[in-house]
């Protein structure tokens, strides 16, 4: 892979750590480049209190920001997550200096937060599969949703109901409103790159076979960044997915003429679509940033909305007794839970969800 190093901070320890990471990537055959049109990822050294972002030209460019925190910090997790958002990064590395050896904390948009002693090879092994992942989050909206589905369906009403229940179960946290940490022009940049209007964890989907789309894998799914406890409108808060264009990695979404043109389906649509296509008996899926005891777990914490995460989840489901009716863990992230329908899923998970996601190095 080609990558770039951007220096937005004069912190000596940060520069030392960044150069060691760059040298390790080069040692493994990756190329440091100044041509920003032909890079896969950027290592952005920036300030912890005033993080600067790299203005990438494409969402395909993965941004890893690096900050340094000296001394004590009351809430390192919160500081790191806000720096992640403010720097518009896909991954944040926070170096915590101490008297012995620096530790490095990893923060992901999915609220993954874990740390290891700094060692360049270990950091390289953590970054490589994430930086090399391939996103499939673009939407192609078509106003071809049949009239009978413009307002609602019994399945849509189930999704609304269970969105409220997830909120009652305490597994739909939002870290903070975007406008508390980003000015409006940065929010517009965030939307331009990822079509995200807000930060809200979790999603729900349920299959509905639409006669007008006989050859499609059709399912309703919550929209990106919305409050899942207050799902209201088809084409704004909930959307019908009818497949994926495998050539352009674009999610095909059917909407009514009155849809919100800025709405986009959850970034996890690529994962849900592959699950529905792979396991025809699956009728519903939920994803929550919660945990359950004794669940099998993915080996790598790939970013949401990537082919790699979707494939790893499906491969893990194949190893379970019944892929259409089970729960699997996403490393340092949360759960994907399948069922024959939403009633089936919630009957199985009530009283079993742990709001603290287990973290693994």
Q: Which residue has the higher pLDDT, 198 or 345?
A: 345
**Of 29-33, 330-334, 353-357, where does the model show the most confidence?**
29-33
We report the CATH number of the domain holding residue 309 as 3.40.225.10
The alpha carbon dihedral of 324, 328, 330, 334 has a sign of positive
- E strands in 155-261: 203-207, 219-222, 238-245, 250-254
Alpha-carbon gap, residue 291 to 202, rounded angstroms: 12
The conformational region for residue 351 under phi > 0 = left, psi -120 to 50 = alpha, else beta, is left
CB within 8 A of 348, min separation 6: which ones?
Answer: 325, 327, 337, 339
Residues 91 and 215 in one domain: no
Question: At how many degrees (to 10) do helices 342-349 and 154-168 cross?
Answer: 20
pLDDT more than 70, % of the chain: 93
Q: Which residue has the higher pLDDT, 149 or 360?
A: 149
Alpha-carbon gap, residue 98 to 160, rounded angstroms: 48
Residues 146 and 250 in one domain: yes
The model's pTM is 0.91
Residues 40 and 7 in one domain: yes
**Residue pLDDT, tens place only, 222-249:** 999 888 999 999 999 999 999 999 999 9
We report the CATH number of the domain holding residue 102 as 3.40.50.10300
The alpha carbon dihedral of 31, 33, 39, 41 has a sign of positive
| pLDDT for position 175 | 55
For 31, the enclosing helix (H) or strand (E) is strand 31-32
Residues 59 and 146 in one domain: no
Question: Confidence class of residue 120 from pLDDT cuts 50, 70 and 90?
Answer: very high
For 330, the enclosing helix (H) or strand (E) is strand 327-330
Is residue 211, in this structure, part of any structural domain at all? yes
Is residue 270, in this structure, part of any structural domain at all? yes
Give whole-number Cα distances, 325 to 165, 201, 275, 286, 314, in Å: 19, 22, 11, 11, 13
**Residue pLDDT, tens place only, 86-117:** 888 989 999 987 767 889 999 888 778 899 99
Residue whose pair of structure tokens reads 């290592």 in the numeric block: 43
**Residue 295 lies in domain:** 138-349
Question: Confidence class of residue 122 from pLDDT cuts 50, 70 and 90?
Answer: very high
- E strands in 159-276: 203-207, 219-222, 238-245, 250-254
Residues 169 and 116 in one domain: no
**Considering its fold, how many domains does the chain have in total?**
2
Alpha-carbon gap, residue 224 to 266, rounded angstroms: 4
Is residue 357, in this structure, part of any structural domain at all? no
8 Å CB contact between 174 and 200: yes
The torsion of the CA quartet 20, 21, 26, 27, rounded to 10 degrees, works out to 70
Question: Confidence class of residue 178 from pLDDT cuts 50, 70 and 90?
Answer: low
| pLDDT for position 128 | 93
Is residue 156, in this structure, part of any structural domain at all? yes
């Amino acid at each position: 892979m080609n990558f770039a190093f951007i220096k937005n901070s004069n912190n000596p320890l940060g520069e030392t750590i960044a150069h060691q990471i760059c040298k390790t990537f080069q040692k493994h055959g990756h190329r440091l480049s100044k041509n920003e049109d032909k890079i896969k990822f950027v290592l952005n050294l920036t300030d912890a209190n005033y993080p600067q972002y790299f203005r990438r030209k494409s969402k395909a460019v993965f941004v890893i920001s690096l900050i340094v925190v000296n001394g004590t910090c009351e809430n390192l997790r919160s500081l790191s997550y806000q720096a992640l958002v403010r720097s518009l990064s896909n991954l944040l590395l926070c170096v915590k200096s101490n008297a012995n050896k620096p530790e490095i904390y990893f923060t992901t948009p999915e609220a993954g937060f874990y740390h290891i002693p700094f060692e360049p090879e270990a950091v390289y092994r953590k970054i490589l599969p994430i930086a090399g992942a391939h996103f499939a989050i673009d939407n192609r909206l078509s106003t071809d949703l049949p009239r009978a589905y413009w307002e609602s369906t019994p399945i849509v009403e189930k999704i609304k109901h269970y969105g409220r229940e997830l909120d009652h179960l305490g597994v739909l946290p939002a870290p903070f409103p975007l406008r508390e940490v980003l000015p409006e022009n940065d929010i517009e940049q965030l939307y331009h790159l990822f079509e995200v209007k807000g930060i809200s964890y979790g999603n729900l989907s349920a299959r509905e076979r639409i006669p007008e789309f006989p050859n499609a894998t059709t399912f309703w799914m919550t929209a990106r960044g919305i409050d899942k406890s207050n799902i209201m409108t088809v084409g704004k808060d909930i959307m019908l997915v009818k497949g994926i264009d495998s050539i352009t990695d674009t999610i095909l979404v059917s909407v009514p003429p009155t849809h919100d043109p800025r709405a986009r389906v959850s970034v996890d649509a690529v994962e849900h679509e592959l699950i529905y296509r792979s396991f025809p008996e699956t009728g519903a899926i939920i994803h929550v940033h919660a945990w359950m005891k004794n669940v099998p777990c993915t080996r790598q914490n790939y970013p949401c909305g990537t082919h790699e995460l979707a494939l790893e989840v499906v491969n893990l489901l194949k190893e379970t007794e019944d892929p259409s009716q089970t729960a699997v863990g996403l490393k340092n992230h949360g759960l994907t839970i399948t069922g024959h329908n939403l009633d089936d899923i919630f009957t199985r998970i009530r009283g079993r969800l742990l709001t603290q996601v287990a973290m693994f190095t």
